Chain A
Amino acid sequence: MSAKITTLRDAVAELVHDGDTIALEGFTHLIPVAAGHEIIRQGRRDLTLVRMTPDIVYDQLIGAGCARKLVFSWGGNPGVGSLHRLRDAVENGWPHPLEIEEHSHAGMANRYAASAAGLPFAVMRGYTGTDLVKHTPTIARITCPFTGEELTAVPNLGLDVAIIHAQRADRKGNVQMWGLTGVQKEAVLGARRSLVTVEEIVDELEPMPNQVVLPSWVVTAVAEVPGGARPSYAQGYYDRDNDAYRAWDPISRDREAFTAWLKSEVLA
């Protein structure tokens, strides 16, 4: 079955449910920020948010009270400092307590790979000797059946929904992205349902260097959302708005400033 071309609002309403395990991926590049805001507007609750780098998009979802749990590997504002809504939730339980499940980038990347491959776990060299092992139940030792070597296993993420942003799709819903593509292919292939927001829908996908193409039949829905990755960037369309990342710091530090921002920039 091919992807349905729809609107962001309808896609989120149909695909994202309260209590879902959901990944909005994009490694600095192509972060689906507009989709995150739509989830806030539709008032989703009790989500398990999965993302390697929560970035400001998850800071916003957490501050808006959408999340019950966060599965992640690096929770900072890249190049700026802390994610203050994340910290406020973890340190003070505001707006409500947030359970965390913490990995390394290598571990998360492998969990996405296992999910895409339809395997219960992935195997890697990692975590040995770190205190992450003591606090994260989804890290386990495994013995290689061929060499007897001790390795590490990390499980499939069990994603209900993956949401990514890409540069283009064609009218059949085939998706094309290029540049740094992170774990987005794995996220889409690893989830039961997927939504891709795109800068534009075109008649023909002209080949690009280093492109990743997701055929329409592995994507559930495609929505045209120009600028849908701002303030992150979409190579070939717009640059990363570094000032917006810096400006997020004072907004997110203060609950009132954040609440006012949420009202005027997302909910209005």
Chain B
Amino acid sequence: MTDFAPDELLTIAAARELTDGTTTFVGIGPPGAAANLAQRTHAPNLVLVYESGAIGAKPDRLPLSIGDGILGETADAVVTVPEMFNYWVQPGRIDVGFLGAAQIDRYGNINTTVIGDYASPKVRLPGAGGAPEIAANCGEVIVILRQSKRAFVERVEFVTSVGHGDGSPGYRERLGLRGRGPVKIITDLGKLEVDPETREFVMTALHEGVTREQAIEATGWELRFADDVATLPLPTAEELETLRSLKA
């Protein structure tokens, strides 16, 4: 068995969640790597949409930023940023929003703004970027994030992008949010999915070799498990090789 890093494990697991032929709004870091990997493996017709204005980008290497030249040069269409958000994201044309986070809570609300008080923060994070409207308007959202008590918190300190709010029934509908919101969180320990009854994220799968105790230990809320917890197969040599060649 080949060795792999935690980020490679979660990137490969996230790539497997993307269905061929869907449109995906892609951020930088693990979400970008996962979407590019999916396009190179099981989902050649995956449409990659970048907030910089590239629609249908087919980069042959992993861009460092969401505005790298390779995106515009390989895209089906290049649009301005106002057009991207107003004509493409806002009406719900994108199937899947792929997001990272600094903090996420049990109802899938996302914080990428501040840790601590807003006016005098302990840590000032980069902020919203495209995420709030991606989370509101894409068909559904998949979040990719390493699992730790620091990141997986009971309630986020700042709601940058809305998940399922306080978990009450119809929370998103009452706000007029039209997408389904976060449905999956892919981590280096496994996969969490939203419970349709409680809107809470529960662990539905663990990577091979990961224990329930590890997942509980890395979660800041009282983690629940699905009745049948699946085991996610380890990355294949082909997936690892493809991912690494994208980064080269």
B212 to chain A, nearest CB (A): 32
Partner of A124, one of B86, B113, B158: B86
A125-173 with Cβ < 8 A to chain B: 125-132, 135, 149-150
A-B residue pairs in contact (CB < 8 Å), sample of 28: A28-B65, A75-B124, A75-B126, A79-B65, A82-B126, A83-B126, A102-B113, A102-B127, A103-B128, A105-B85, A105-B129, A106-B132, A109-B81, A110-B82, A126-B132, A126-B133, A129-B159, A129-B162, A130-B132, A130-B160, A131-B118, A131-B158, A132-B128, A181-B53, A182-B53, A183-B80, A186-B82, A235-B69
Give complex CA distance A99, B29 in Å: 29
Bitwise interface map of B from 28 to 39 toward A, beta carbon under 8 Å scored 1, else 0: 110000000000
For residue A76, CB closer than 8 A to chain B, the reply is yes
* Partner-A contacts on B (CB < 8 A): 28-29, 51-54, 63-69, 71-73, 78, 80-82, 84-86, 89-90, 113, 118, 120-121, 123-124, 126-133, 136-137, 158-162, 165, 172, 175-178
**CB-nearest residue of chain A to B163:** A129
A14-22, A220-228, A238-246, A257-265: which lies at the interface: A238-246
Which 3 pairs, one residue from A and one from B, show the smallest C-beta to C-beta distance?
Answer: A28-B67, A76-B126, A78-B65
Q: What's the nearest-Cβ distance from chain B to residue A247, in Å?
A: 13
A62 to chain B, nearest CB (A): 12
Q: Are B131 and A78 in contact (CB under 8 A)?
A: no
Kindly identify, within residues 80 to 127 of chain A, every residue whose CB is under 8 Å from any CB belonging to chain B: 80, 82-83, 86-87, 90-91, 102-106, 109-110, 112-113, 124-127
Q: Which residues of B contact A106 (CB under 8 A)?
A: 85-86, 89-90, 130, 132-133
B residues in contact with A103, CB < 8 Å: 128
Tell which of A75, A128, A179, A182 touches B127, judged by Cβ atoms closer than 8 Å: A75
Q: Known interface pairs A74-B127, A75-B127, A104-B133. Does A27 touch B85 (Cβ–Cβ under 8 Å)?
A: no
Residue from B67, B80, B129, B172 having most chain A Cβ neighbours under 10 A: B67
How far apart sit A181 and B77, CA to CA, in the bound complex (Å)?
A: 12
Residue in B73, B85, B133, B137 whose CB lies within 8 Å of A235 = B73
Q: Decide if B64 touches A240 in the complex (CB within 8 Å).
A: yes
Min CB–CB distance B171 → chain A (angstroms): 8
- CB-based contact B131/A104 at 8 Å: yes
* Chain B neighbourhood of A176, CB < 8 A: none
A79–chain B nearest beta-carbon distance, Å: 4
Closest to A181 in B: B80
Contact pick for A91, options B69, B89, B121, B165, CB 8 Å: B121
Chain B residues within an 8 Å CB radius of A110: 82, 85-86
**Complex contacts, A183 vs chain B, CB 8 Å:** 80-82
**Would A180 and B67 be within 8 Å (CB), given that A129-B165, A130-B161 are in contact?**
yes
CB contacts (< 8 Å) of B124 on chain A: these are 75, 82, 86-87, 90-91
- Given that A74-B126, A124-B90, A128-B175 are known contacts, is A240 also in contact with B68, CB under 8 Å in the complex? yes
Distance of A83 Cα from B54 Cα, bound (Å): 25
Is the beta-carbon distance between B136 and A126 smaller than 8 angstroms? yes
Residues of B within 8 A of A182 (CB): 52-53, 67, 80-81
Q: Does A72 contact B (CB under 8 A)?
A: yes
Q: Most A CB atoms within 10 A — which of B64, B89, B176?
A: B64
Q: Which residues of A contact B160 (CB under 8 A)?
A: 130-132
Which one, A75, A91, A113, A180, contacts B53 given CB within 8 A? Answer: A180
Q: Give the interface of A toward B (CB within 8 A).
A: 27-29, 52-53, 72-76, 78-80, 82-83, 86-87, 90-91, 102-106, 109-110, 112-113, 124-132, 135, 149-150, 179-183, 185-186, 210, 233, 235, 239-240, 242, 245
Known: A52-B81, A74-B129, A182-B52. 12 other contacts (CB 8 A): A29-B69, A102-B113, A109-B81, A109-B82, A126-B132, A132-B160, A150-B176, A180-B52, A180-B67, A186-B80, A210-B72, A233-B69
Residues of A within 8 A of B113 (CB): 102, 131-132
Q: A185 vs B121: C-alpha distance in the bound complex, in angstroms?
A: 35
Q: Determine if A28 and B52 form an interchain contact, defined as CB atoms under 8 angstroms apart.
A: yes
Max count, chain B CB within 10 A of own CB: residue among A103, A109, A110, A233: A109
Given A105-B128, A129-B165, A79:B69 Cβ within 8 A: no
How far apart sit A210 and B136, CA to CA, in the bound complex (Å)? 29
Q: Within the complex, what minimum Cβ distance (angstroms) separates A108 from chain B?
A: 8
Give chain A residues whose Cβ lies under 8 Å from the Cβ of B29.
Answer: 79
The answer to whether B80 touches A135, judged by C-beta atoms less than 8 angstroms apart, is: no
**What is the bound-complex CA distance between A104 and B110, given in angstroms?**
14
Contact A27 B118 (CB under 8 A): no
In the bound complex, what is the Cα–Cα distance between A110 and B130 (angstroms)?
12
